[in-house]
């Protein structure tokens, strides 16, 4: 799961900019985070929701692996809302 090459969708870049999330933060979550949900039926390829912490800040990254490009594609990135997620940020309320 996951490739060394990472491609950021425009949507992800826009959200990263809006939310002050760096490329390094996203790469850290991809490399060290925990998969908390999978979306096997997503198109054009299956994706996953990952949880990681950067400087104590919880981050969610939605990404999928594109085998044709041998790249991990970052779809979106956000800091989970405590009002919508449990205290561990692993389950929606």
pLDDT in tens, 37-57: 999 999 999 999 999 999 999
pLDDT band at residue 3 under the 50/70/90 scheme = confident
Contact 4, 68 (CB under 8 A): no
Q: Show the domain range for 63.
A: 5-78
Residues 6+ apart with CB under 8 A from 9: 73, 74, 75, 76
pLDDT at 24: 96
**Does residue 18 surpass a pLDDT of 70?**
yes
Of 49, 47, 45, nearest to 66 by C-alpha is 45
pLDDT at 1: 54
Query: Is residue 85 a part of any domain in this protein?
Result: no
Kindly report the pTM of this predicted structure: 0.93
Contact 57, 48 (CB under 8 A): no
Per the structure, how many domains does the chain have? 1
Query: Is residue 72 a part of any domain in this protein?
Result: yes
Mean pLDDT of 25-37: 96
The domain that holds 63 is classified in CATH as 3.30.2310.20
Helices (H), 10-80: 10-19, 23-32
């Amino acid at each position: 799961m996951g490739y060394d090459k990472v491609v950021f969708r425009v949507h992800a870049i826009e959200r990263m900019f809006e939310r002050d999330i760096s490329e390094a933060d996203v790469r850290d979550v991809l490399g060290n985070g925990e998969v908390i949900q999978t979306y096997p039926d997503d198109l054009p390829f299956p994706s996953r929701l990952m949880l990681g912490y950067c400087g104590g800040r919880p981050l969610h990254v939605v990404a999928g692996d594109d085998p044709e490009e041998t790249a991990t594609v970052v779809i979106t990135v956000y800091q989970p809302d405590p009002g919508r997620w449990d205290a561990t940020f692993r389950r929606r309320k």
